Chains A and B, each alone.
Chain A
Amino acid sequence: QSALTQPASVSGSPGQSITISCSGTSSDIGTYIYVSWYQYYPGKAPKLLIYDVTERPSGISDRFSGSKSGNTASLTISGLQAEDEADYYCCSYAGSPYVFGAGTKVTVL
Protein backbone atom coordinates (compact mmCIF):
# COMPACT_ATOMS: atom_id res chain seq x y z
CA GLN A 1 0.00 0.00 0.00
CA SER A 2 1.32 3.45 -0.89
CA ALA A 3 1.25 6.25 1.58
CA LEU A 4 -1.51 8.82 1.34
CA THR A 5 -0.49 12.16 -0.20
CA GLN A 6 -0.50 15.30 1.93
CA PRO A 7 1.02 18.74 1.31
CA ALA A 8 4.34 19.04 3.11
CA SER A 9 3.38 22.31 4.73
CA VAL A 10 0.47 24.67 5.23
CA SER A 11 0.56 28.02 6.97
CA GLY A 12 -1.90 30.61 8.15
CA SER A 13 -2.28 33.60 10.41
CA PRO A 14 -4.00 33.43 13.78
CA GLY A 15 -7.76 33.40 13.38
CA GLN A 16 -7.68 32.16 9.80
CA SER A 17 -8.89 28.79 8.55
CA ILE A 18 -6.64 26.29 6.82
CA THR A 19 -7.37 23.00 5.10
CA ILE A 20 -5.05 20.02 4.79
CA SER A 21 -5.80 17.58 2.00
CA CYS A 22 -5.12 13.86 2.04
CA SER A 23 -5.26 12.08 -1.28
CA GLY A 24 -5.67 8.34 -1.51
CA THR A 25 -7.10 5.79 -3.89
CA SER A 26 -10.21 3.71 -4.42
CA SER A 27 -8.56 1.02 -2.28
CA ASP A 28 -8.45 3.15 0.84
CA ILE A 29 -10.11 6.57 1.24
CA GLY A 30 -12.40 5.97 -1.71
CA THR A 31 -13.83 2.79 -0.20
CA TYR A 32 -13.78 3.20 3.56
CA ILE A 33 -15.25 5.76 5.95
CA TYR A 34 -12.45 4.94 8.38
CA VAL A 35 -10.37 8.05 7.82
CA SER A 36 -8.71 9.55 10.88
CA TRP A 37 -6.42 12.48 11.61
CA TYR A 38 -3.67 12.79 14.21
CA GLN A 39 -1.78 15.71 15.70
CA TYR A 40 1.90 15.23 16.52
CA TYR A 41 4.04 17.42 18.71
CA PRO A 42 7.73 16.35 18.79
CA GLY A 43 8.46 14.16 21.79
CA LYS A 44 4.82 13.83 22.82
CA ALA A 45 2.20 11.17 22.31
CA PRO A 46 0.24 11.68 19.09
CA LYS A 47 -3.39 12.69 19.55
CA LEU A 48 -6.50 11.56 17.68
CA LEU A 49 -8.35 14.58 16.27
CA ILE A 50 -10.90 13.13 13.85
CA TYR A 51 -12.18 9.63 13.16
CA ASP A 52 -14.69 8.14 10.71
CA VAL A 53 -14.04 11.11 8.40
CA THR A 54 -16.01 13.68 10.42
CA GLU A 55 -16.26 12.58 14.05
CA ARG A 56 -14.43 14.29 16.92
CA PRO A 57 -13.45 12.44 20.08
CA SER A 58 -14.58 13.89 23.36
CA GLY A 59 -12.43 16.86 24.35
CA ILE A 60 -11.32 17.82 20.85
CA SER A 61 -12.13 21.40 19.91
CA ASP A 62 -14.83 21.96 17.30
CA ARG A 63 -12.31 24.13 15.47
CA PHE A 64 -11.15 20.84 13.95
CA SER A 65 -13.40 19.33 11.30
CA GLY A 66 -13.07 16.63 8.68
CA SER A 67 -14.61 15.81 5.33
CA LYS A 68 -14.21 13.48 2.37
CA SER A 69 -14.93 13.61 -1.33
CA GLY A 70 -14.10 10.67 -3.52
CA ASN A 71 -10.54 9.57 -2.85
CA THR A 72 -9.58 12.72 -0.95
CA ALA A 73 -10.10 13.56 2.70
CA SER A 74 -9.56 16.95 4.29
CA LEU A 75 -8.92 18.39 7.73
CA THR A 76 -9.94 21.99 8.35
CA ILE A 77 -8.67 23.99 11.29
CA SER A 78 -10.77 27.07 11.95
CA GLY A 79 -9.75 30.05 14.06
CA LEU A 80 -6.09 29.06 13.83
CA GLN A 81 -4.20 29.40 17.13
CA ALA A 82 -0.51 29.34 17.97
CA GLU A 83 -0.95 26.00 19.73
CA ASP A 84 -2.09 24.44 16.44
CA GLU A 85 1.47 24.60 15.12
CA ALA A 86 2.28 20.90 14.83
CA ASP A 87 2.49 18.01 12.39
CA TYR A 88 -0.75 16.45 11.14
CA TYR A 89 -1.17 12.99 9.66
CA CYS A 90 -4.12 11.39 7.95
CA CYS A 91 -4.80 7.68 8.08
CA SER A 92 -7.17 5.35 6.27
CA TYR A 93 -8.12 1.76 6.82
CA ALA A 94 -7.23 -0.19 3.69
CA GLY A 95 -8.37 -3.66 4.56
CA SER A 96 -5.39 -4.22 6.83
CA PRO A 97 -2.95 -2.67 6.79
CA TYR A 98 -3.79 0.88 7.58
CA VAL A 99 -2.08 3.54 5.48
CA PHE A 100 -0.88 6.92 6.67
CA GLY A 101 -0.01 10.16 4.96
CA ALA A 102 3.51 11.54 4.93
CA GLY A 103 2.41 14.42 7.12
CA THR A 104 1.76 18.15 6.92
CA LYS A 105 3.57 20.71 9.02
CA VAL A 106 1.26 23.52 10.04
CA THR A 107 2.89 26.85 10.73
CA VAL A 108 1.09 29.70 12.43
CA LEU A 109 2.51 32.94 11.06
Chain B
Amino acid sequence: SAVISQKPSRDICQRGTSLTIQCQVDSQVTMMFWYRQQPGQSLTLIATANQGSEATYESGFVIDKFPISRPNLTFSTLTVSNMSPEDSSIYLCSARGGAGIYNEQFFGPGTRLTVL
Protein backbone atom coordinates (compact mmCIF):
# COMPACT_ATOMS: atom_id res chain seq x y z
CA SER B 1 0.00 0.00 0.00
CA ALA B 2 0.96 3.66 -0.22
CA VAL B 3 0.52 6.48 2.25
CA ILE B 4 -0.02 9.93 0.79
CA SER B 5 0.48 13.17 2.66
CA GLN B 6 -0.49 16.64 1.54
CA LYS B 7 0.56 20.11 2.61
CA PRO B 8 -1.09 22.32 3.61
CA SER B 9 -4.09 20.52 5.03
CA ARG B 10 -6.13 23.67 4.73
CA ASP B 11 -5.72 27.31 3.84
CA ILE B 12 -7.68 30.51 3.50
CA CYS B 13 -6.50 32.69 0.65
CA GLN B 14 -7.33 36.02 -0.87
CA ARG B 15 -8.76 36.43 -4.33
CA GLY B 16 -6.08 36.87 -7.00
CA THR B 17 -3.33 35.02 -5.15
CA SER B 18 -1.90 31.56 -5.83
CA LEU B 19 -1.43 28.50 -3.63
CA THR B 20 0.85 25.53 -4.18
CA ILE B 21 -0.21 22.20 -2.72
CA GLN B 22 2.38 19.50 -2.15
CA CYS B 23 1.77 15.78 -2.38
CA GLN B 24 4.24 13.24 -1.03
CA VAL B 25 3.92 9.46 -1.42
CA ASP B 26 5.86 7.14 0.86
CA SER B 27 6.79 4.81 -2.01
CA GLN B 28 7.49 5.11 -5.70
CA VAL B 29 4.33 5.10 -7.79
CA THR B 30 3.76 5.00 -11.49
CA MET B 31 0.80 7.31 -11.70
CA MET B 32 -0.25 10.41 -9.78
CA PHE B 33 -3.43 12.41 -10.19
CA TRP B 34 -5.03 15.55 -8.86
CA TYR B 35 -8.76 15.71 -8.12
CA ARG B 36 -11.05 18.51 -7.02
CA GLN B 37 -14.03 18.07 -4.73
CA GLN B 38 -16.22 21.14 -4.72
CA PRO B 39 -18.50 21.67 -1.71
CA GLY B 40 -21.18 19.01 -1.58
CA GLN B 41 -20.09 17.51 -4.87
CA SER B 42 -18.18 14.54 -6.16
CA LEU B 43 -14.55 14.30 -7.17
CA THR B 44 -13.52 15.60 -10.56
CA LEU B 45 -10.20 14.72 -12.13
CA ILE B 46 -8.09 17.78 -12.87
CA ALA B 47 -5.05 16.16 -14.44
CA THR B 48 -2.61 13.29 -14.52
CA ALA B 49 0.79 14.33 -13.24
CA ASN B 50 3.48 12.91 -15.50
CA GLN B 51 7.00 12.49 -14.23
CA GLY B 52 9.44 14.66 -16.09
CA SER B 53 6.92 16.01 -18.57
CA GLU B 54 3.86 18.22 -18.76
CA ALA B 55 0.73 17.08 -17.01
CA THR B 56 -2.25 15.78 -18.97
CA TYR B 57 -5.29 17.92 -18.25
CA GLU B 58 -8.95 16.92 -18.38
CA SER B 59 -11.52 18.91 -20.26
CA GLY B 60 -12.24 22.19 -18.50
CA PHE B 61 -8.86 22.44 -16.77
CA VAL B 62 -5.86 24.32 -18.17
CA ILE B 63 -2.21 24.52 -17.31
CA ASP B 64 -2.21 28.28 -16.77
CA LYS B 65 -4.79 27.92 -14.02
CA PHE B 66 -3.54 24.65 -12.49
CA PRO B 67 0.17 24.21 -13.18
CA ILE B 68 1.43 20.83 -12.00
CA SER B 69 4.90 19.54 -11.41
CA ARG B 70 6.14 16.01 -10.85
CA PRO B 71 9.90 15.93 -10.52
CA ASN B 72 10.15 12.30 -9.37
CA LEU B 73 8.15 9.15 -8.63
CA THR B 74 7.06 10.18 -5.13
CA PHE B 75 6.28 13.90 -5.26
CA SER B 76 3.98 16.29 -7.08
CA THR B 77 2.68 19.83 -6.67
CA LEU B 78 -0.51 21.49 -7.83
CA THR B 79 -0.75 25.28 -7.97
CA VAL B 80 -4.09 27.01 -8.00
CA SER B 81 -3.38 30.30 -9.74
CA ASN B 82 -5.14 33.66 -9.64
CA MET B 83 -7.72 32.26 -7.28
CA SER B 84 -11.38 33.22 -7.11
CA PRO B 85 -14.06 32.11 -4.64
CA GLU B 86 -15.15 29.48 -7.19
CA ASP B 87 -11.85 27.71 -6.54
CA SER B 88 -12.88 26.96 -2.96
CA SER B 89 -12.72 23.17 -2.87
CA ILE B 90 -10.91 20.20 -1.46
CA TYR B 91 -7.98 19.22 -3.64
CA LEU B 92 -6.92 15.59 -3.44
CA CYS B 93 -3.77 13.92 -4.61
CA SER B 94 -4.06 10.33 -5.72
CA ALA B 95 -1.58 7.66 -6.72
CA ARG B 96 -1.44 4.09 -7.98
CA GLY B 97 1.28 1.65 -8.76
CA GLY B 98 0.23 1.21 -12.39
CA ALA B 99 -2.63 1.49 -14.85
CA GLY B 100 -3.66 -2.15 -14.55
CA ILE B 101 -7.02 -2.90 -13.00
CA TYR B 102 -5.44 -4.74 -10.07
CA ASN B 103 -3.47 -1.72 -8.95
CA GLU B 104 -5.11 -0.03 -6.00
CA GLN B 105 -5.75 3.71 -6.05
CA PHE B 106 -4.72 5.64 -2.95
CA PHE B 107 -5.85 9.09 -1.92
CA GLY B 108 -4.32 11.76 0.22
CA PRO B 109 -6.25 13.45 3.03
CA GLY B 110 -6.95 16.48 0.86
CA THR B 111 -6.25 20.19 1.08
CA ARG B 112 -9.27 22.28 2.00
CA LEU B 113 -9.00 25.63 0.24
CA THR B 114 -11.20 28.61 0.97
CA VAL B 115 -10.88 31.70 -1.23
CA LEU B 116 -12.27 34.96 0.06
Q: Do A and B actually bind? A: no
